Amino acid sequence: MVIRQVDLAEHTGIPLSTVKRFENGGNASLETVVRIAYVLRAEREFGELFPRYEAHTLDEILAANRLRQRARRPSQSRGRN
């Protein structure tokens, strides 16, 4: 699908500057990305980025959440006394 930036901005209701920034690799909010995906008819592909996890018990859900959490590094002093 070919669509001009100005038309994409108009159809999504987001500022043209946001469309340009996002297209050039800049950050965008989740809402902006979803709006763009919807206008480009790519909502199915967008949904496939987040596969569902089929859990049967609360324990399975909690275990899956523990696996997904990133470990934090212990905070280190920056040499301040």
State the pTM of this model.
0.58
Q: Dig out the tokens for 21 from the structure.
A: 């920034």
Task: Dihedral sign for Cα 41, 42, 43, 44, please.
Answer: positive
Please tell me the distance from the alpha carbon of residue 67 to that of residue 69, in angstroms, as a whole number.
6
13 CB contacts (<8 Å, ≥6 apart)? 35
Domain boundaries, the chain: 5-68
Question: Each residue of 16-70: pLDDT tens digit?
Answer: 999 999 999 999 999 999 999 999 998 888 778 877 777 788 888 788 777 665 5
Q: Using DSSP, state whether 45 is helix, strand or coil.
A: helix
